[in-house]
Amino acid sequence: MIRGEASMNTSGTACCSGTGSKAHPKSPRGWNITYLAAMTILAVFWWLAYSRILPVAHRLVFGLLGMAPESRLGAALEFFIYDTVKILLLLAALIYIIAWMRASLNIERVRDRLAGKRRGLGCFLGALFGSITPFCSCSSIPLFLGFAAARIPMGITMSFLITSPLINEIAVALLWGLLGWKFTAVYVAVGMTAGVIGGFVMDSIRAERWLQPFIMEAMNSAPAPQYVSESGQARKLTIRQRHIFAYGETVSIFRRVWKWVIIGVGAGAALHGLVPENWFAEHLGTGEWWSVPAAVLVGIPLYSNVTGIVPVMESLLVKGLPVGTTMAFCMSAVAASIPEVMMLRRIMTFRLQAAFIGYLWVIFTLTGWLFNFLGPHIL
């Protein structure tokens, strides 16, 4: 009787297998085609959403809510909506892309190539990559997260984080047109130098030990254990396996940082447009030695991107602020901000944040003093 039931079950299973095959997962090729089609559609929608953030924020604040265009509250709210949505979209997309690429990456080999004798070149390349990415101090954090999770040496990662908000091609064009090629060349050289030196400094203090634990866990999960062969080498993964790994990484990291993005951008919006630019020329234009470190201390909490700071830089120079003080203030306002510090708090421990901000304060203060002394002779 048991044997008969077993045979019936077996035959039943076999009988149903023909119809049940329709419910089986798709073949790898079919799944890949579906995945690529879905990702293409998603990428189009992502780009459409990303490109329309500012117009939608403007209409929402000044149209639907009826706020006056010249009101500071309206400008702050528009800024908050625009930057929050922009950074969250970048965060989701860039973490997924980087995790997808590193899913089967031989991290040890990459790290070895970027370490040791190649460290100087690595810091330079990190700074160079930062100089061609059009990100502000907050928007560069998703890539910083991806680099850190991929176990790229911390010096190279920090070189990118320092240089990325300071330099991009749009800012170079604006600087050239408004302030001339000499000032532009000096600005780019200072920004690149700050990034490279910063990378060496962070390497020398072994800054990676001061990352938050969940970043350390992500670093140790690259590649995922199930995708590693017995010899310790990363296996060649299917597109589906890469997607599973990347999706898991994206959800895990996004859940941990999205609140800090909103809090950080909210703090930036509160500062945005509330400090009159005339204040700086009136209080920091005396040429005293202390005006440079004071300008950096004032600039670091503020939130601006390099494209927006260039006209301010021109205005401050026209109003008589010394060139070194102007450069120190504007570079510090671009390289760091309260929103960035609040977001990084979820990624870095207090020690690493203090080292990062302290380095920026020192390097921009030295830059300001140097160009206050040399500026009249070389610019």
For residue 192, the model assigns a pLDDT of: 94
Q: Determine the Cα–Cα distance for residues 82 and 56; give it in Å rounded to an integer.
A: 8
Two tokens, residue 255? 């859940």
Q: Determine the Cα–Cα distance for residues 336 and 22; give it in Å rounded to an integer.
A: 56
Place of tokens 């494209």: 307
For residue 12, the model assigns a pLDDT of: 43
Q: Is the pLDDT of residue 364 over 60?
A: yes
Listed by start position, the domains of the chain span: 30-379
Q: Is the pLDDT of residue 322 over 80?
A: yes
Q: Which residues contact 143 (CB under 8 A, 6 or more apart)?
A: 94, 98, 133, 135, 160, 164
Q: Determine the Cα–Cα distance for residues 351 and 357; give it in Å rounded to an integer.
A: 10
Single-letter amino acid code for the residue at 34: T
Going by pLDDT thresholds of 50, 70 and 90, the confidence category of residue 4 is very low
% of the chain residues with pLDDT over 90: 16
CB 336 within 8 A of CB 291: no
Q: Is the pLDDT of residue 9 over 50?
A: no
Of the given ranges (28-42, 93-107, 217-231, 333-347), which has the lowest mean pLDDT?
217-231
In this predicted model, what pLDDT tens digit does every residue of 223-251 receive, in sequence order?
Answer: 544 455 555 455 677 888 888 888 887 88
Q: Determine the Cα–Cα distance for residues 102 and 108; give it in Å rounded to an integer.
A: 12
CB 166 within 8 A of CB 133: no
In this predicted model, what pLDDT tens digit does every residue of 101-123 receive, in sequence order?
Answer: 767 655 555 555 555 546 778 88
Q: Is the pLDDT of residue 83 over 70?
A: yes
Q: Determine the Cα–Cα distance for residues 290 and 296; give it in Å rounded to an integer.
A: 10
For residue 104, the model assigns a pLDDT of: 62
For residue 272, the model assigns a pLDDT of: 59
156 CB-side CA count, 13 A: 23
Of the given ranges (80-89, 94-103, 362-371), which has the lowest mean pLDDT?
94-103
Long-range Cβ pairs for the range 342-346 (8 Å, 24+): 342/260, 342/263, 342/264, 342/267, 343/138, 343/141, 343/257, 343/260, 343/261, 343/264, 344/141, 345/260, 346/212, 346/256, 346/257, 346/260
Q: What is the pTM of this model?
A: 0.65
Please return the burial class of 300, using the count of CB atoms within 10 Å of its CB with bins 0-12, 13-18 and 19+: buried
Going by pLDDT thresholds of 50, 70 and 90, the confidence category of residue 40 is very high
Q: Which residues pair with 348 in a beta bridge?
A: 211
Average pLDDT, whole number, for the chain?
77
Going by pLDDT thresholds of 50, 70 and 90, the confidence category of residue 273 is low
Strongest mean pLDDT among 51-65, 219-233, 272-286, 302-316:
51-65
Please return the burial class of 259, using the count of CB atoms within 10 Å of its CB with bins 0-12, 13-18 and 19+: exposed
Decide which of 277 and 295 is more confident: 295
Strongest mean pLDDT among 186-200, 254-268, 288-302, 312-326:
186-200
Two tokens, residue 221? 């999960």
Going by pLDDT thresholds of 50, 70 and 90, the confidence category of residue 198 is very high
Q: Is the pLDDT of residue 29 over 90?
A: no
Average pLDDT over residues 47-68: 90
Decide which of 82 and 142 is more confident: 82
Q: Is the pLDDT of residue 3 over 60?
A: no
Strongest mean pLDDT among 27-31, 51-55, 71-75, 78-82:
51-55
Asked, as a colleague might, if the bond just before 25 is cis with ω within 30 of 0, I would say: no
Decide which of 120 and 197 is more confident: 197
Average pLDDT over residues 328-353: 84
